[in-house]
Amino acid sequence: MSDRHDISLQTKETIIDVIAESIRRKSQAGQLASENEIFQELLNRDILKGDREESQRLFKEALEETLNRYEDLEKLPDRGEGPRFYSSQFMTQSYTRILLQKETDLLLLIAEVVRENSAVYPRPVSLDLFGDSPFNLSQDQLQGYLQQMAKEEGYRDIKQTTTSAGNVFLYSSLHLEPDYASMLAEWFDVGQFNNP
Amino acid sequence: MAKHGGWAGKVLRIDLSTGRISSEDTVEKYKDVLGGTGLGYKVLWEEVAPGTKPFDPANKIVFGTGPLAGTGAPCNGRTAITTLWPTCWPKPLVASGHMGGQFAAELKYAGYDGIIIEGKADRPVYVSIMDKKVEIKDARHLWGQGIRRTTVELSQQFGPEVCVAAIGQAGENLIPMSVVMNAYSHSAGGVGAVMGSKNLKAIAVHGTGSVTIAGKKEEWEKLVKLHLSLLGANNQHVVPSSPQPWAEYYSPGSRWKGSRGNKWGASEPAIDTGICDPHDLNTIAYRTNNAAFYLGDIAWKYTVRGNGCTGCPIRCHTMIKVPSVAAKYGISEVGMNTCGGLNFGRSFFRKFPDGARGMTSMEACMVGMHMSDDYGLWCNYSQLQRDFLKLYETGIIKNKLGEKEFNSYSWDKYEKSDPSFLFELLPRIALKQGELATALGLGTGYMLETWSLSEEEWKKDNRLSYWKMGHPKHHASEEVGQCGVIINTQYNRDPQCHSHCNFTRNGLPLELQKRLAAETWGTQDAIDALGSYTPMNIGKARMAKWSLIRKELHDSLSLCNWMGPWVASPLKERGYRGDDSMESMLYSVATGDPKSREELDRVGERIFLLHRALTIRDMGTKEMSTQHDTVPEWVYNDQEKRPAYTKGTTHLGRDDVKLAMGMFYEEMGWDKTTGAPRAETYRRLGLAKVAEELGKKGLLG
């Protein structure tokens, strides 16, 4: 084999290592990786250089090989902002759903979180949840989305209940009856703390 | 392989009347009941006659640890303290308190598995145990001091390594609502006055020895690592409280509060608790922040760190530093405790001007801890505070007190939820000053009797959480339906059992919980969704039996029942399964006495049965179902009069509860009607002599 071929192989292996490491690092940090970000990192670290078109070709090849080689590295469907990647070693599918939805449709994200909680656990969801990571919505943003939801047909099942402590919880009437949702909200907001 | 590892080998016996100090061989005499509460029940059965009262010199206090105390087993470190209970009403009966901290380990390192305190000293004394050197010493210079001063004095005398378990003025003044406390914040409720009645101020212990593990080092280390890997956060909550990258599930009810951005803000430098991936066993201590759990996110800013028992990675006692309270209230800016202890002060107030999670609430916690943990006051699982609220809000306090005493309290401060009000109330309870304080200090049952108040009234009001015999419920029907009811009928104080609710509150979705329930108790119907209860079934009876047996096992092995058992885990790769044999595996390797899960559960059942026998003997009746295992009225009531088992309700049906008790009795091998254990059950569990004695008195089922 020629020296040039050896160097090329070496570079490709390095690129694969960096791609894998980058996706895993971002997953551990609670973030999805995008193609652009990974590509830019390779450029910044001088691992890819020279002709842009050639670099991109090499990158795409290496990316595909990386995904095939490592079981934990997953590609998420492209929702218009380019594909996203994560490592199942550090991130779960349920978390990726939140992050992906956050990028594209916050209204739907809120509704889906409420519906999932109402169906699966089951329980209503405190508004406070959406102010914390990974949602990080401000009070104004949240109120805006709730008002929007109230007007749209597709969100008629998203209801509110207020606890004795004055805190608002959301639930889906598809999965929780009003009395039941109210009782559960009261437990999670007040009752469980009175029963340490 | 060493013979009988785990146990230190000796139980100390100290007669305060005669000054005699002796010891007994633990394994020879007490192996069949392990230690802890088992040791306590056995001593009381064999040595304390029925009719003895808590403050009689003939009463005994048994400080019991178990074979796992002082080992590397996670969540060890508990000392069970068993005695005749001063707040048990109308008749004192056997009960136990438990304290964590460092006492259990130090006692083991000194060479002892337990201490039996007998008699009564003729003057205030403390006991010092420095390895093999055990002495009864003059405590007159300590008498009248708070727990902190006592601890400091004895630490200065014996060195900083010493562990001091002390009573405060409350115990000295024979206030039934009093504690013994070690290591700053670790208390055992209800026993302070019994120590006080014996003139026993403190026990100071330090050991330079170690605990031998019978098994091979590699085997033990592998087991400890397995146990660590299965741990969740406090109360074995196995999911985080908010979405985390590594987590499939989360629950706002979880005590797993650690998260990137949540920092121990008062530590220097501030520590970010991070994502707390469950595979990272070095960050277990970052998961739990009970101050943040109870007081809200505001508590992060004031959190110094987590603290806790010897060798336990959970660190459920949160240390908080609130600089403003020093100038405002003249108290230490640092406080530390968990659950009822943390909330001691704020629980006296119905609400705060800035909300349940504002600064005033936190200040009330600091003021409360400052006094209760020094005077040595007990809250009886916050029944003290609930009683106070009821008495005030219904005007009973005003009716019962003379005008002078009533006006001596700043009720305007109380109405404004000013934490400084507590400076007027708590010292008076500890020092028995005034009629109100004296009544509150008696405990609920004797308070009701003294003030001619109706126990039935207390039993109807679900806000009071009152159950029976002067004590509240502790995880009952409000969250674990019939299983919770059964558990709460069984003891002579609140049951302090968390086996069941650790599971139901673990945060996993219902489907997963039901799968684990089926694997553990034979049917997924053993558990219901919260507030969506179904009628009684055999699975629930099995779960109740398992919960009680495991509680006794933990209290006898020195494992923490606030953490175990370990049916569930945070590990997705295990299907969120823990290992229900954790206790038996640890026991077998530590002691060299191999026991399967079923075999060790039989020992736990034996210990629980001994408690039952003691209760029956000392009550003088076998009619336990009607005389002892009673259920308060509020369990059956719904404010909106909805039928039982309607979604959104937690009340139960009378017939169904009767069925539940009958099924439980059958599961236990007890008479289905009376609830008294049968002779063959005692014999099956190695208590033939107990059966014989009860048989002579006509007290068998």
Tens-digit pLDDT profile for residues A116-167: 999 999 999 999 999 999 999 999 999 999 999 999 999 999 999 999 999 9
Same domain for A49 and A132, yes or no, is no
Same domain for A125 and A141, yes or no, is yes
Same domain for B413 and B308, yes or no, is yes
Q: Is B381 inside a domain boundary?
A: yes
**Percentage of chain A modeled with pLDDT above 70:** 95
Which candidate, B591, B582, B592, places its Cα nearest to that of B74? B582
Same domain for A36 and A85, yes or no, is yes
Domain tally, chain A = 2
Question: Cβ neighbours of residue A64 under 8 Å, at least 6 residues apart?
Answer: none
pLDDT-derived band at A12, boundaries 50, 70, 90: confident
Give the SS3 label for residue A43: helix
Q: What is the pLDDT of residues B390-439, one digit of tens each?
A: 999 999 999 999 999 999 999 999 999 999 999 999 999 999 999 999 99
Same domain for B198 and B235, yes or no, is no
Same domain for B443 and B486, yes or no, is no
Same domain for A80 and A116, yes or no, is no
pLDDT-derived band at B311, boundaries 50, 70, 90: confident
Instruction: Using the predicted structure, report yes or no on whether residue B56 has a pLDDT greater than 90.
Output: yes
Q: Give the pLDDT of residue A1.
A: 46
Q: Is B130 inside a domain boundary?
A: yes
Same domain for B409 and B284, yes or no, is yes
User: What's the CATH number where B15 sits?
Assistant: 3.60.9.10
Q: Give the pLDDT of residue B1.
A: 43
Instruction: Measure B494 CA to nearest chain A CA, in Å.
Output: 12
User: What's the CATH number where B670 sits?
Assistant: 1.10.599.10
Residue in B380, B480, B530 to test binding to A, most A beta-carbons within 10 Å: B530
Instruction: Using the predicted structure, report yes or no on whether residue A5 has a pLDDT greater than 90.
Output: no
Q: Is B3 inside a domain boundary?
A: no
Instruction: Using the predicted structure, report yes or no on whether residue A82 has a pLDDT greater than 90.
Output: no
Mean pLDDT along residues B312-331:
97
Q: What is the pLDDT of residues B501-536, one digit of tens each?
A: 999 999 999 999 999 999 999 999 999 999 999 999
Residue B409 and residue B144 in contact, taking contact as beta carbons nearer than 8 Å: no
Q: What is the pLDDT of residues B606-658, one digit of tens each?
A: 999 999 999 999 999 999 999 999 999 999 999 999 999 999 999 999 999 99
Write down which residue in A97, A131, A153 finishes a domain: A97
Question: Cβ neighbours of residue B348 under 8 Å, at least 6 residues apart?
Answer: B364, B368, B385, B388, B389, B421, B422, B425
Domain tally, chain B = 3
Same domain for A119 and A83, yes or no, is no
Instruction: Using the predicted structure, report yes or no on whether residue B84 has a pLDDT greater than 80.
Output: yes
Instruction: Give the chain B residue whose CA is nearest to the CA of A124.
Output: B252
Q: What is the pLDDT of residues B16-36, one digit of tens each?
A: 999 999 999 999 999 999 999
Same domain for A126 and A88, yes or no, is no
Q: Is B189 inside a domain boundary?
A: yes
Instruction: Measure A37 CA to nearest chain B CA, in Å.
Output: 19
A-chain CB neighbours of B382 within 8 Å are: 194, 196
Same domain for A134 and A186, yes or no, is yes
pLDDT-derived band at B444, boundaries 50, 70, 90: very high
Give this prediction's pTM.
0.96
Same domain for A93 and A166, yes or no, is no
Same domain for B437 and B475, yes or no, is no
Q: Give the pLDDT of residue A4.
A: 53
pLDDT-derived band at A50, boundaries 50, 70, 90: confident
Q: Is B522 inside a domain boundary?
A: no
A-chain CB neighbours of B511 within 8 Å are: 120
Same domain for A164 and A86, yes or no, is no
Same domain for B289 and B434, yes or no, is yes
Separation of alpha carbons B350 and B357, rounded Å:
13
Are the Cβ atoms of A92 and B509 closer than 8 angstroms? Answer: no
Same domain for B201 and B143, yes or no, is yes
Same domain for B477 and B502, yes or no, is yes
Write down which residue in A71, A97, A123 finishes a domain: A97
Give the SS3 label for residue B183: coil
A-chain CB neighbours of B650 within 8 Å are: 183
Q: Which domain holds residue A161?
A: 105-194
Are the Cβ atoms of A122 and B478 closer than 8 angstroms? Answer: no
Are the Cβ atoms of A129 and B532 closer than 8 angstroms? Answer: no
Instruction: Using the predicted structure, report yes or no on whether residue B338 has a pLDDT greater than 60.
Output: yes
Give the amino acid at B399.
N
Task: Label residues A70-95 b or e (16+ Cβ within 10 Å = b).
Answer: beebbebeeeeeeebbbbbbbbbeeb
Are the Cβ atoms of A133 and B259 closer than 8 angstroms? Answer: yes
Instruction: Using the predicted structure, report yes or no on whether residue A28 has a pLDDT greater than 50.
Output: yes
Same domain for A132 and A110, yes or no, is yes
Is B354's Cβ below 8 Å from some Cβ in A? no
Tokens describing residue B639: 């404010």
Same domain for B626 and B681, yes or no, is yes
Same domain for A88 and A114, yes or no, is no
The helix (run of H) or strand (run of E) holding residue B134 is strand B133-138
Q: Is B342 inside a domain boundary?
A: yes
Q: What is the pLDDT of residues B153-165, one digit of tens each?
A: 999 999 999 999 9
Same domain for B280 and B171, yes or no, is no
Residue B67 and residue B31 in contact, taking contact as beta carbons nearer than 8 Å: no
Q: Which domain holds residue B132?
A: 10-206
Q: What is the pLDDT of residues B586-607, one digit of tens each?
A: 999 999 999 999 999 999 999 9
Q: Is B211 inside a domain boundary?
A: no
Q: What is the pLDDT of residues B360-382, one digit of tens each?
A: 999 999 999 999 999 999 999 99
Q: Give the pLDDT of residue B590.
A: 98
Q: How many CB atoms lie within 10 A of CB B599?
A: 13
Same domain for A42 and A74, yes or no, is yes
Same domain for B168 and B267, yes or no, is no
User: What's the CATH number where A168 sits?
Assistant: 1.10.10
Residue in B234, B239, B242 to test binding to A, most A beta-carbons within 10 Å: B242
Q: Give the pLDDT of residue B482.
A: 98
Instruction: Using the predicted structure, report yes or no on whether residue A191 has a pLDDT greater than 60.
Output: yes
Which candidate, B177, B178, B184, places its Cα nearest to that of B148? B184
Write down which residue in A47, A71, A97 finishes a domain: A97
Mean of the per-residue pLDDT values of chain B? 97
Question: Cβ neighbours of residue A13 under 8 Å, at least 6 residues apart?
Answer: none
Same domain for B381 and B477, yes or no, is no
Q: What is the pLDDT of residues B537-579, one digit of tens each?
A: 999 999 999 999 999 999 999 999 999 999 999 999 999 999 9
Q: Is B570 inside a domain boundary?
A: no
